[in-house]
Amino acid sequence: MATEVRVPTLGESVTEATVATWFKKPGDQVAVDDMLCELETDKVTVEVPSPVAGTLAEIVAAEGATVSTEALLAQINEGATASAPAKSTPAPAAQTTAVMVPVLGESVTEATVSTWYKKPGDTVTQDEMLCELETDKVSVEVPAPAAGVLGQILAAEGSTVQAGGQLAVIGGDVSSAAAPEPASAPAAKSHDVEDAPSAKKLMSEAGLSRDDVTATGKDNRVMKQDVQQAIVLATAAPQAAPVAPATPIRAAVPADDAAREERVKMTRLRQTIARRLKDSQNTAAMLTTYNEVDMTEVMALRNEYKDLFLKKHGVKLGFMSFFTVACCHALREVPEVNSEIDGTDIVYKNFVHMGIAAGTPTGLVVPVIRDADSLSFAEIEKAIAEKGARARDGKLSMAEMQGGTFTISNGGVYGSLMSSPILNPPQSGILGMHKIQDRPMAINGEVVIRPMMYLALSYDHRVVDGKGAVTFLVRVKEALEDPRRLLMDL
């Protein structure tokens, strides 16, 4: 009986693909889930497995052909190889499973392979961690898609991989696993595998040679997205040239000092933090206004109810929930602090997605508490505790760090007395909290000791005027010095 092999679902809004490569030819025996061919769309590369065991009888869509969803690719005669598995016990070992780069998040197209937990020849179970990828924002652990033996590592530690690229192969010939690392360089020049037809066409149109393109396809095959990436890099290179002189050149270091230095490559997260902070300074008309708040009432309220709060809600009552609620209260009165600039438009957010800056061993991240303006004190404290723990463990997803409308940064936990926080673009405001310190204050004509905290609001002067910034900070101060104002919505 003949079984049809058809084009699988290609993804949302994708209706057609190009047949890049056939891994089998008519007459070849195939097992269930053997890779038959590779399809290439505008966004990803899709491998088509065999739905049944048998013999590949006919290829209907040749390499280079354009096919639509559910179109007929080939036909397989079932039963022709019924005895093949019995005769050839190594057949299951020949089956391979590709380990691919997972979805990295919105606007993230590449990652760096930071660590391999397994080496070729190691036995792995399904969902066991194989390696860790590092993106601009988070670290992503890649689990094994199937149980078996890690046969080949295609992307070594330190290499850059594209979203949807192949990292390794589970199954197959383990002895060849070590070959790709030393042989990866010459493979680009002397390859026996045919590149994707669309890639060759695009290289010809762009005037690129194969040596100008980094291949990420199976068996070092150049795919269409590889050529597109090479074109982007080639286009960006001349634009980057004028910026180069702005980078200071490190002065020569005496030999005695150089021997005692340690040079460590910046992580992608650290590079992104550095770039975004500098971009924020260069783009926004950033200004900081300061005030101070008497924390007496908040501290008294917290001390009075912290035990009951913990008993009822199962989470400690901290200061962050007070500041979060106070900021949401102030943002309603001064909405421009909760806005952003989009071209020539100002986008006002009628909701508050509060970013809470958190320091981690790898750098600063800002998880977002969505709709913080509609949450209770307990819900805010639980969200902060949960996201803080995930941030420290490097488990935050991209979605958890996107979409913030305003940010709170608490440098006081490190002992900072005063600082000027830098905006988190495209946001227009960020509140800096600091250390609580007893200071003498003049209250009703008398000098008394009060627990005081300096507050700093950095804002984008392009959209927020001085009056609005000062009003916002005063409203936060008033709410914290008299928390009853929050209940009365004053």
Q: Quick one: DSSP state of residue 464?
A: S
Count helices and strands in the chain by DSSP H and E runs:
12, 27
The pLDDT of residue 259: 81
Neighbours of 301 (CB within 10 A): 14
The pLDDT of residue 172: 61
DSSP H or E segment with residue 77: strand 72-78
Burial class (CB in 10 A: 0-12, 13-18, 19+), 455: buried
Catalytic residue among 191, 465, 482, 489: 465
Paired with 78 in beta bridges are 54
Paired with 238 in beta bridges are none
Q: Quick one: DSSP state of residue 19?
A: E
pTM of the full structure: 0.52
Judged by DSSP in three states, 296 sits in: helix
Paired with 116 in beta bridges are 131
Query: CB of 69 within 8 A of CB of 89?
Result: no
Dist. CA 222–CA 215, nearest whole Å: 4
Q: Is the dihedral of CA 450, 468, 406, 420 positive or negative?
A: negative
The pLDDT of residue 337: 95
- Nearest partner of 226 among 180, 178, 184, 188, judged by Cα: 188
The pLDDT of residue 199: 74
The pLDDT of residue 238: 52
**Helices 466-481 and 320-333, axial angle in degrees (round to 10):** 140
The region, left, alpha or beta by phi > 0 then psi within -120 to 50, assigned to residue 484 is alpha
- For every residue of 189-238, which 3-state class applies, written as one string? CCCCCCCCHHHHHHHHHHCCCHHHCCCCCHHHCCCHHHHHHHHHHHHHHH
Cα Rg of the chain, angstroms: 29
Query: CB of 323 within 8 A of CB of 302?
Result: no
The region, left, alpha or beta by phi > 0 then psi within -120 to 50, assigned to residue 177 is alpha
Per the annotation, the verdict on 465 as an active-site residue is yes
Q: Is the dihedral of CA 434, 438, 439, 442 positive or negative?
A: positive
The pLDDT of residue 33: 83
Residue 192 makes CB contacts below 8 A (sequence gap 6+) with: none
What the block records as the tokens of 313 is 């809600």
Judged by DSSP in three states, 117 sits in: coil
CA dihedral 443, 448, 450, 452 (to 10 degrees): 60
Give the pLDDT of the chain (490 residues) as one tens digit per residue. Answer: 788 888 888 766 677 888 888 888 888 888 888 888 888 776 667 788 888 888 888 898 888 888 888 888 888 888 654 444 444 444 444 577 888 888 776 567 788 888 888 888 888 888 888 888 887 667 788 888 888 888 888 888 888 888 778 888 887 655 443 434 443 444 444 445 667 666 777 777 777 777 788 877 666 777 777 777 777 777 655 544 444 445 566 677 788 777 888 888 777 667 777 777 787 778 888 899 999 999 999 999 999 999 999 999 999 999 999 999 999 999 999 999 999 998 888 999 999 999 998 887 777 788 999 999 999 999 999 999 998 888 888 777 777 888 899 999 998 888 888 999 988 888 999 999 999 999 999 999 999 999 999 999 999 999 999 999 999 999 999 999 999 888 877 7
Query: CB of 194 within 8 A of CB of 219?
Result: no
Judged by DSSP in three states, 56 sits in: strand
Neighbours of 335 (CB within 10 A): 14
Judged by DSSP in three states, 483 sits in: coil
The pLDDT of residue 194: 67
Catalytic residue among 127, 211, 461, 489: 461
What the block records as the tokens of 98 is 């590709």
